[in-house]
Amino acid sequence: MKVLANDGVSQSGINALEAAGYEVITTTVAQEQLQNYINDNDISVLLVRSATTVRQDLIDNCPSLKIIGRGGVGMDNIDVAYARSKGLHVINTPAASSHSVAELVFGHFYGLARFLHNANRDMPLEGDSNFKKLKKAYAKGTELKGKTLGVIGFGRIGQATAKIGLGAGMKVIAFDPFIEKANLELEFFDGQKVNFDIATISKEDVLKQADFLTLHVPAQKDYVIDEKEFNQMKDGVIMANAARGGVINEIALVKALEKGKVARAALDVFEKEPQPEIQLLMNSALSLTPHTGAATNEAQDRIGVELADQIISILG
């Protein structure tokens, strides 16, 4: 049977599928040629990430397809309910990248706490002529240890982020309307384990108490953080959005940064991808990444292997 990994798949995933007798094709077929390619090559499994879209017409016109697989979490690019109504299996890998996203958030937090995002912009330009000025400008850094980490959305990534916070010596508080409490197990290199029970509290309390605030909610109709929520935050909070563009009102964020309500912030996701607002890109209070939360070798390996395991267990 043939698997078309149209947006790529890790070598470990290819190895697992080939060992089970599948042929894996990693050509990237253009969206408008996909239907013909799938039919001409009798493709059984179509694997995508976020680039390729799988809509009703493709599902209707490709009878050889048995499985649509999304390497990652969000399935906005696939007509999932329709595919399932036509008897196709739709699979994804929701847990594979949680730790990678959590580490990216902490990369941003440690950077923001010590102005690395600015120092890295300024040192190439002024590091030789204005060293002392820059040293003074970035003198008022803060530590994360002992601070309060607020997590909004306490699912897979929220909990992975909380674990890193606990490991960093932070107090962790969380809000999630659907989760009352979670048991977090921190594992150490020598096999020791430490357990923490964290009961969620109200959104307002998290916003009021957090020194560092991170969002891990799914995309939804309304903003989760809008002007009202910014006003409830502690003055000088450092925050991060590595969830989805549209979860934070970006205009309200820029205002909150201007007022100093939010001291600095990190964005990995944007309302307008792939062309974020220039006001965000040029804002020196922001630490920015181009939606790379899940982009680690380890996460991509886990995604490939998890997809392969699921395909093999469905099709044999």
Ligand X SMILES: NC(=O)c1ccc[n+]([C@@H]2O[C@H](COP(=O)([O-])OP(=O)(O)OC[C@H]3O[C@@H](n4cnc5c(N)ncnc54)[C@H](O)[C@@H]3O)[C@@H](O)[C@H]2O)c1
- Which positions touch ligand X (CB under 6 A)? 73-74, 94, 97-98, 101, 152-158, 175-179, 216-220, 224, 242-244, 268-269, 291, 293-294
Reply yes or no on whether 244 is catalytic. yes
Burial class (CB in 10 A: 0-12, 13-18, 19+), 301: middle
Whose Cβ is closer to ligand X: residue 19's or residue 219's?
Answer: 219
Whose Cβ is closer to ligand X: residue 119's or residue 201's?
Answer: 201
CA dihedral 73, 78, 79, 84 (to 10 degrees): -70
Minimum distance, C-beta of residue 174 to ligand X, in the bound complex (Å) = 9
Minimum distance, C-beta of residue 210 to ligand X, in the bound complex (Å) = 13
Minimum distance, C-beta of residue 162 to ligand X, in the bound complex (Å) = 11
Whose Cβ is closer to ligand X: residue 13's or residue 150's?
Answer: 150
Whose Cβ is closer to ligand X: residue 178's or residue 188's?
Answer: 178
> Which residue in the shown chain puts its C-beta closest to ligand X?
155
Minimum distance, C-beta of residue 176 to ligand X, in the bound complex (Å) = 4
Minimum distance, C-beta of residue 231 to ligand X, in the bound complex (Å) = 17
CA distances from 236 to 68, 73, 215, 265 (A): 45, 32, 17, 10
Cβ–Cβ under 8 Å, residues 93 and 303: yes
Whose Cβ is closer to ligand X: residue 101's or residue 257's?
Answer: 101
Residue of 18, 126, 273, 298 marked catalytic:
273
Reply yes or no on whether 273 is catalytic. yes
Whose Cβ is closer to ligand X: residue 92's or residue 283's?
Answer: 92
Reply yes or no on whether 264 is catalytic. no
Minimum distance, C-beta of residue 159 to ligand X, in the bound complex (Å) = 8
Residue of 49, 156, 244, 264 marked catalytic:
244
Residues assigned a catalytic role: 244, 273, 291
